[in-house]
Amino acid sequence: MNFAISILAWLAFLWTPLLIVGGLRSITADASPVWCGLAAVAIVAASLLRWVLPRSVSMRWRIVFGLLLGLLLPVLGGFALMQVVGGFESAAFFAGGVVMAIPGAAGGALAGWIQSRAGSLQRTTNA
């Protein structure tokens, strides 16, 4: 359950800037790759955060790892899109990835905190 909550928290941080800038008009069929791409980033990052780190990792390191994932994945995704698309306009993909890294890092830190609290609660109840 906490895994799903951490994904939703990460999505809230990633989608909120788009809703602020574009409003509800930004939710169109033309923009669906952007919304789905950010959802994929949140799902992949939350999965990495949950299954790469062992359960014994402290809350601090899980938050730091979530923050780093939130910073790096949007930037790397923007860079990869820039390389794939090519052309003059492709630099906007990298710039968008850099801009989305800020809320992604905040969402990653929050997701790390949510997942570490779930792990610490399970450890205390099992002990």
pTM of the model: 0.79
Whole-Å CA distances, 109 to 29, 47, 61, 83, 122: 30, 14, 10, 28, 20
Per-residue pLDDT of the chain (127 residues; tens, 9 = 90+): 788 888 898 888 888 887 887 776 767 767 677 778 888 888 888 888 888 877 778 889 999 999 999 999 889 988 988 888 878 888 888 998 899 899 999 999 999 999 888 665 555 555 5
Containing 6, the helix (H) or strand (E) segment is: helix 2-22
What is the reported pLDDT for 75? 92
What is the reported pLDDT for 26? 67
User: Max alpha carbon distance in the chain (Å)?
Assistant: 59
Of 14, 1, 17, nearest in space to 107 by CA: 14
Distance (Å, whole) CA 124 – CA 6: 20
